[in-house]
Amino acid sequence: MRILLAVGLNTGLLWLLWRWVRQQQQAAGVGQFILPLLALKLVITLATVVLLTEDARYFQYWGIALTDQLWTAPTAWVGTLLGDEFHAPDRQLIYHGYSNTFFLIKILSALNLASLGSVWLNAMYLSVFCFVGCWQLVRKLPPLFPDTPILAVPISFLLWPSVLYWTSGLTKESVLVGTLAWLTALVLGWLYGGRPVRAWSVVGAVVLVVVAFKMRYFFAVLLFVALLGLAIIRVGERLGVRRRGMQVTLVVLLLVGGGFVLSEVNSIFRFNRFSSQLLRNYYSMLEQSRHKPHIEYEHLAPTWQSVVTNAPAAALNTVVRPWPWESLRWNYLTVSMENLVLLALLLTAMAAVARGRGGGLPFALVLVLVVYCLGLAILLGLTTPNLGTLNRYRTVLLPFLLLLLLQNDYVRRVLKW
Express each pLDDT in 229-249 by its tens digit. Answer: 999 999 888 877 778 888 888
pTM above 0.85, yes or no: yes
pLDDT of residue 28: 84
- Going by pLDDT thresholds of 50, 70 and 90, the confidence category of residue 8 is very high
Share of the chain above pLDDT 90, in %: 61
What's the rounded mean pLDDT across residues 75-89? 91
pLDDT of residue 153: 95
pLDDT of residue 294: 83
pLDDT of residue 273: 65
Flag whether pLDDT at 47 surpasses 80: yes
214 or 195: which leads in pLDDT: 214
What's the rounded mean pLDDT across residues 55-82? 94
pLDDT of residue 104: 96
Q: Are 220 and 213 in contact (CB under 8 A)?
A: yes
Q: Round to whole Å and give the CA distance between 126 and 104.
A: 10
Flag whether pLDDT at 348 surpasses 90: yes
pLDDT of residue 372: 94
- Going by pLDDT thresholds of 50, 70 and 90, the confidence category of residue 99 is confident
pLDDT of residue 263: 63
pLDDT of residue 267: 62
What's the rounded mean pLDDT across residues 352-375? 92
pLDDT of residue 275: 67
Q: Round to whole Å and give the CA distance between 179 and 292.
A: 32
Express each pLDDT in 262-311 by its tens digit. Answer: 666 666 666 666 666 777 777 777 777 777 888 888 777 777 787 888 88
For helices 217-238 and 363-383, what crossing angle results, to 10°? Answer: 160
pLDDT of residue 173: 96
Nearest to 139 by CA among 293, 306, 25, 247: 25
